[in-house]
A and B are shown apart, each in its own frame.
Chain A
Amino acid sequence: MTKTHNAAYKNKTIDLTNLNTARHMTEQEIDYENRLVNEAKRSPKAFGKLYDRYFEGIFNFILRRTDDEILTADLCSQTFLKALQNLKKYEYRGLPFSAWLFRIASNEVNKHYNKKKKKRVYSLEEERVFQIIESNDEHDFSEAQIELLIKTLKDLPTDVMEVLELRFFEDRSFKEISFILNIGESGAKMRLYRALEKLKKHFKVNWDE
């Protein structure tokens, strides 16, 4: 990549400020969710409400990591089965129930890749990517710029990409990310900063924590 090319790309802004805030649950929502979990602990049939509530989110999360609809449906089913089997062990620790489900889903996806020894895939929704990169610009990104963005994301270590995906595509807080990936909160932040540093080499990134 020549210096002039880099300079041209630097004019483009990746605006992450509108994605700064993580999804937040009100106390009422948390109470309602805890009630559903307690009901499900008493009777597995009540787990259906939790299944309906989180199926779409978990499906999208797994699909983004596999890019295979049938495999996603399998892993999703496996995730909810594991959750149902281990529901009695679940304890509320200040994080939404969905974080626990995402953790199980993430483990299931990791297990799948370790078993199949396949290269990992991140299938990102185009509209979401454009939401992030177009907000401050009048003109669309050119194909070359999108290619550069994909290449930059491709060159990131997988553990860094995991954090980036959970933060900007799932709107998860650092506390939730650290729980889902079983890493420290500072580790999660460090990985995200590493990703942003890489992106800053080619693009102007607007992001403050």
Chain B
Amino acid sequence: MGRHDIRLRRKRMTSRRIESHKNYYEVMRRHQKTSRLKKVFKLLILLIFFLALIFFSYSLLTKVSEADQSQEENTSYRVKIKTEQQV
């Protein structure tokens, strides 16, 4: 069995017939559709990125504030013990 088929075509296709397959409007339509989809996809990725950024910064802030709070509580507790000891 050959690796490919060889066929002989009687005539070269005429320019007019090839012209009938031309459809630049369709190519442009598909291009606009795909570029619109690409834009939506990029926007979605950007949105997800910003949401993730907001979420992480929020959780980081809450962690920091929690840590501050517990530190404050610790220092106030230590001050309380010290004053009690002094008394």
Q: Residues of A with Cβ closer than 8 Å to B?
A: 44-45, 48, 51-52, 55-56, 59-60, 63, 67, 69, 72-73, 76-77, 80-81, 84-85, 119-129, 146, 150, 153-158, 161
Contacts and interface: CB of A to CB of B under 8 A. Distances in A.
Chain A binding site: helix, strand, loop or mixed by DSSP?
A: helix
A155 B8 CA distance: 16
Interface centre among B5, B6, B22 (most CB of A within 10 A): B6
Contacts, number: 90
Contact of B5 (A59, A122, A146): A122
A89 B10 CA distance: 39
A56 B4 contact: no
Interface string B1-30: 011111111111101001101111011101
A157 B3 CA distance: 7
Given A127-B12, A158-B3, A73 B21 contact: yes
B63 interface: no
Nearest to B8: A126
B31 interface: yes
Contact of A150 (B8, B10, B15): B8
